Amino acid sequence: MRLSKDDPPQTVGAADAVRPPAAPARPPAPDREQPDAATGPDDEFAFRITRRPRPGRWCAVVIALAVAVWLGYTVVVNPNLHWDVIVDYQFDAVILEGLWVTIQLTLVSMTAGIAIGVLVAVMQLSESPVLRLTASAYTWFFRGTPLLVQLIFWFNLALLFPVIGIGIPFDGPKLVEWQTNAVITGFVAALLGLSINEGAYLAEIVRAGIQSVDPGQREAGASLGLSNRQILTRVVLPQAMRVIIPPFGNQFISMLKTTSLVSVIAGADLMTVSQHLYLANFEVIALLMVASLWYLALTTVASVAQHFVERRYSPGAAPLRRRVLTNLVPGRTGKGAVS
């Protein structure tokens, strides 16, 4: 730019001297469709996930359903299966008496087995080698011999000891004596065999549950001044219950069915009375179906109860945390709290 002599002088500042030339204006960007926040990014790279066809699984389902329908139809329409006899004997007084004996055997045997199992488990974890050896010999013998043999042995105990009594051992005088056949009835022999055998299995379950508790819990209880018995009953066992309960439930359900072995010693249980009835009227299958339906009902009730008990003692359950805190923290009030 040329300036004439008549134009006024122009002053150029330092900022104007170093100002860079203006950048050329960018052309307007083409309009893009913005992705919707609710639908996510553009579907340019989206792909559809489909399940792999599994014809083998569907074939197995169809076959299983067909077999189930066929078995149900065969059982229902079979003329040799007398449903009228099953209905008549399902709530018969004799069957109900045998059912009550089965329930009694199960409850009493499990209660005694739990007491024996806890005692033997504590003996196995004892520091005394004599107690450990005694407990190990007990579990070794009664888990190693068949339950049927043990039931027959207890029922025929009179062949080994015709008279049992209380007195001084090693052939000393007896204070009280009884005839063994009068004491060891079929019901008593069944209780002895089932309880002692079950105690051997429950001892291993309790031992495994106790050993699953962190040893630091014992140290924490000892630091609070708790005795060994209090540590076991208030600290260790409540935490071991989540490991003990599932196999306990399985053993209880198994015991309901194991009581049927009592029929070999005339224990008057459900299976025994069913045998007596079908030997009298020759309705073998019908009476076995009656017994099976009652066993199914008992095991179903026990399974439901086991489910709720396992939920109560599952890890993180509030009742268990509250019980442990109540037992461990001094000053808390509650049942079983340490004063």
- Tens-digit pLDDT profile for residues 113-171: 999 999 999 899 888 999 999 999 999 999 999 999 999 999 999 898 888 888 787 77
pLDDT in tens, 189-201: 999 999 999 999 9
Residue 15 pLDDT: 46
Helix (H) or strand (E) holding 109: helix 93-124
Residue 6 pLDDT exceeds 90: no
* Angle, alpha carbons 170-175-177 (nearest 5°): 90
Q: Check: CB of residue 106 under 8 Å from CB of residue 252.
A: yes
| Secondary structure of residue 179 in the 3-state scheme | strand
Residue 13 pLDDT: 47
Read off the pLDDT band of 266 (50, 70, 90).
confident
Residue 35 pLDDT exceeds 60: no
- Average pLDDT estimate for 302-320: 74
- Average pLDDT estimate for 35-58: 66
Residue 49 pLDDT: 73
Distance CA 143, CA 57 (A): 41
Average pLDDT, the chain: 81
pTM above 0.95, yes or no: no
Distance CA 332, CA 318 (A): 16
Residue 8 pLDDT exceeds 60: no
* 296 to 15, 46, 83, 274: CA distances (angstroms): 98, 53, 17, 15
- Average pLDDT estimate for 291-316: 87
End-to-end CA distance of the chain: 104
Lowest-pLDDT choice from 76-80, 132-136, 209-213, 243-247: 76-80
- Average pLDDT estimate for 36-62: 70
pLDDT in tens, 50-107: 777 788 888 999 999 999 999 888 888 888 888 889 999 999 999 999 999 999 999 9
DSSP characters over 31-90: P--PPPTTT-S-TTS-----PPP-HHHHHHHHHHHHHHHHHHHHHHH-TTS-HHHHHHHH
Read off the pLDDT band of 287 (50, 70, 90).
very high
Residue 54 pLDDT: 81
% of the chain with per-residue pLDDT over 90: 42
Residue 257 pLDDT: 92
Residue 336 pLDDT exceeds 70: no
